[in-house]
């Protein structure tokens, strides 16, 4: 009865490198949400995906950030050419579908850019 899994839990990258964050939703959940939490702030919505589809990416920066949720495998949030301002905790949440109002959160990935 595994919950949402995220890995790695901690990721250190140098400026200019790429960061890949992975999220495995609760088994059977087909909806995934990514949030970013900057220090001392609440969670900010980034992107909402269903299997093989990006539904809403209105919270995603236009450049360097991308997300996918393939038919098989985890959802991936990719940040290219990371900068110091990307340092944050990135949370993934999943839900079974549109009619479900509750999201189940993963433990988050803390990204540090040096």
Partner 1 sequence: AQTVTQSQPEMSVQEAETVTLSCTYDTSENNYYLFWYKQPPSRQMILVIRQEAYKQQNATENRFSVNFQKAAKSFSLKISDSQLGDTAMYFCAFMKHADTGNQFYFGTGTSLTVIP
Per the CB < 8 A criterion, the answer to whether 82 and 15 are in contact is yes
- Of the two residues 74 and 108, which places its CB atom closer to partner 1 in the complex? 108
Strand partners, 11: 111
Closest to partner 1 by CB, 33 vs 65, is: 33
* DSSP per position, 46-93: EEEEETTEEEE-TTS-SSSEEEE--SSS-EEEEE-S--GGG-EEEEEE
Minimum distance of partner 1 from residue 90's CB (angstroms): 11
Question: Which of residues 18 and 52 has its CB atom nearest to partner 1 in the complex?
Answer: 52
Using CB under 8 A as the criterion, which residues of the chain lie in contact with partner 1 when the complex forms? Answer: 31, 33, 35, 40-45, 48, 50, 55-56, 89, 91, 93, 95, 98, 100-103, 105, 107-108, 110
């Amino acid at each position: 009865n595994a919950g949402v899994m995220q890995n790695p839990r901690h990721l250190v990258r140098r400026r200019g490198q790429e960061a890949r964050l992975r999220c495995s939703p609760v088994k059977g959940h087909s909806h995934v949400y990514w949030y970013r939490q900057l220090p001392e702030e609440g969670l900010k919505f980034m992107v909402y995906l269903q299997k093989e589809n990006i539904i809403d990416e209105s919270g995603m920066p236009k450049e360097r950030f991308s997300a996918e949720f393939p038919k098989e495998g985890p959802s991936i949030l990719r940040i290219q050419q990371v900068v110091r301002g990307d340092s944050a905790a990135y949370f993934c949440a999943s839900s079974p579908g549109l009619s479900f109002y509750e999201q189940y959160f993963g433990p988050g990935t803390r990204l540090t850019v040096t």
